[in-house]
């Protein structure tokens, strides 16, 4: 039986950090996950990044967004707004993420903000929450060769900085992908 990728809505906090975005978009390109996002999710990570790092021009982020959408045309979810009122979350501004999951028939919401997405509320809609680290580590446990290959592709995407395989492990750790880094350390030569 072949591997079937999970359909996961990426919260803005997964797309905000450059390296994490690179790793997860590459994982989606490599068909390890069926990525889903909305224009609202894009707007949020871009808005926050411009506020936190004003030296990054918004035009550069708009190009990144376009490239992401071009690489993964099925990732953008629309028509979810009608589901928002039936969702109860600690922060009502996060309801669009769950609503997008409903429309996309997603199984997961990937986020670092687990407390924003109570498990019982997500369960009503057939969703579960996971951190990016737990999700990718779980994939590694299922399909280690494919995850290593995807991480190698993500590392090669960093052609401007020429990050070595051994230098990629600390990048994983800085992205809070601690479980992933621990698993991958044994496979540095394959990165």
pLDDT, one tens digit per residue, over 45-72 is 999 999 999 999 999 999 999 999 999 9
CATH number, domain of 128, equals: 3.40.50
166 and 100, same domain (yes or no): no
12 and 101, same domain (yes or no): yes
62 and 80, same domain (yes or no): yes
Position 17 scores a pLDDT of: 96
Question: Does any domain span residue 47?
Answer: yes
Q: Which residues contact 130 (CB under 8 A, 6 or more apart)?
A: 8, 108, 109, 110, 111, 138
Question: Does any domain span residue 67?
Answer: yes
pLDDT tens digits, 125-160: 999 999 999 999 999 999 999 999 999 999 999 988
Q: How many domains is the chain partitioned into structurally?
A: 2
Position 161 scores a pLDDT of: 86
**Antiparallel, parallel or unpaired: β 33-36 and 108-110:** unpaired
Of 9-13, 179-183, 185-189, the range with the lowest mean pLDDT is 185-189
The answer on pLDDT for 164 being more than 90 is yes
Question: Does any domain span residue 1?
Answer: no
The answer on pLDDT for 10 being more than 70 is yes
The whole domain housing 179 covers 135-190
Q: Which residues contact 54 (CB under 8 A, 6 or more apart)?
A: none
Question: Does any domain span residue 163?
Answer: yes
* Number of separate helices (H) and strands (E) present in the chain: 10, 4
């Amino acid at each position: 039986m072949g591997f079937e990728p999970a359909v996961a809505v990426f919260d803005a906090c997964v797309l905000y950090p450059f390296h994490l975005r690179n790793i997860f978009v590459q994982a989606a390109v490599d068909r390890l996950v069926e990525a889903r996002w909305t224009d609202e999710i894009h707007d949020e990570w871009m808005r926050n990044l411009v506020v936190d790092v004003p030296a990054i021009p918004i035009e550069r982020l708009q190009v990144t967004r376009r490239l992401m959408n071009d690489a993964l045309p099925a990732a953008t979810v629309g028509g979810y707004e009608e589901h928002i009122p039936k969702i109860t979350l600690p922060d009502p501004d996060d309801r669009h993420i769950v609503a997008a999951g409903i429309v996309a028939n997603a199984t997961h919401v990937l986020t670092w903000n687990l407390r924003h997405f109570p498990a019982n509320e997500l369960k009503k809609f057939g969703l579960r929450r996971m951190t990016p680290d737990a999700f990718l580590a779980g994939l590694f446990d299922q399909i280690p060769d494919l995850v290593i290959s995807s991480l190698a592709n993500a590392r090669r995407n960093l052609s401007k900085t020429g990050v070595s395989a051994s230098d990629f492990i600390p990048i994983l750790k800085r992205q809070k992908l601690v479980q992933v880094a621990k698993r991958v350390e044994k496979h540095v030569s394959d990165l």
